[in-house]
């Protein structure tokens, strides 16, 4: 009997499944939205929401737990080239690729007042080859990039002169 067994197997061994889920959560953190199958999206949702809950704590212990679960160890050695220094490469990597930093410094503050339900799953059509139900998994409150603001002074000036 499978009573109280919650792990979705996804047709993989435990190690393969954990590695796949860690990679998918890392992609979700970096790209903010990924397309996959419905079954994988449901499995990723539980891992991603647990990572956000840990990130909201903000402790060093939580950082280490997240890094271990997502298999992301910090990189300290960046060998520079003749044209680019290692510190520049490290800063670029940290900004775009360091999922632990992105999770703790960019995503967790967005969800600080939310008690759960950090992701949403949107269903798509079936895949052509095997008729698997496709889905998009994304963060509910995406961090909004600074949009260019149009200068409202010009229309107001034109309205005042008319």
Mean pLDDT of 71-95: 82
CA distance 140 to 121: 9
CA distance 73 to 7: 25
* Residue recorded with tokens 């052509």: 128
CA distance 80 to 86: 4
Q: pLDDT-based confidence at 92, cuts 50/70/90? A: confident
The domain limits of the chain are: 14-75+83-143
Q: At 144, give phi and psi (nearest 5°).
A: -85, 130
The per-residue pLDDT for range 16-37, each reduced to its tens digit, is 999 999 999 999 999 999 999 9
Q: Which CATH architecture has domain 14-75+83-143?
A: Alpha-Beta Complex (3.90)
pLDDT, averaged across the chain: 87
Tell me the CA distances in angstroms from 162 to 150, 151, 159, one per residue in order: 21, 19, 5
The per-residue pLDDT for range 104-139, each reduced to its tens digit, is 999 999 999 999 999 999 999 999 999 999 999 999
Nearest CA among 89, 88, 105, 107 for reference residue 31: 107
Mean pLDDT of 48-73: 94
pTM of the model: 0.80
Task: Count Cβ atoms within 10 A of the Cβ of residue 104 and give its class: 0-12 exposed, 13-18 middle, 19 or more buried.
Answer: buried
Predicted pLDDT at 147? 45
């Amino acid at each position: 009997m499978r009573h109280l067994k919650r792990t979705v197997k996804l047709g993989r061994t435990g190690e393969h499944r954990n590695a796949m889920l860690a990679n998918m959560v890392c992609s979700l953190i970096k790209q903010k939205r990924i397309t996959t199958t419905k079954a994988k999206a449901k499995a990723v949702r539980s891992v991603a929401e647990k990572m956000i809950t840990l990130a909201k704590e903000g402790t060093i212990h939580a950082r280490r737990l997240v890094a271990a679960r997502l298999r992301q160890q910090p990189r300290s050695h960046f060998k520079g080239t003749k044209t680019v220094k290692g510190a520049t490469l490290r800063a670029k990597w940290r900004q775009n690729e360091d999922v632990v930093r992105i999770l703790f410094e960019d995503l967790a503050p967005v969800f600080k007042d939310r008690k759960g339900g950090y992701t949403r799953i949107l269903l798509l059509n079936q895949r052509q080859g095997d008729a698997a139900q496709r889905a998009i998994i994304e963060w509910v409150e995406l961090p909004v990039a600074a949009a260019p603001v149009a200068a409202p002074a010009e229309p107001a000036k034109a309205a005042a002169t008319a």
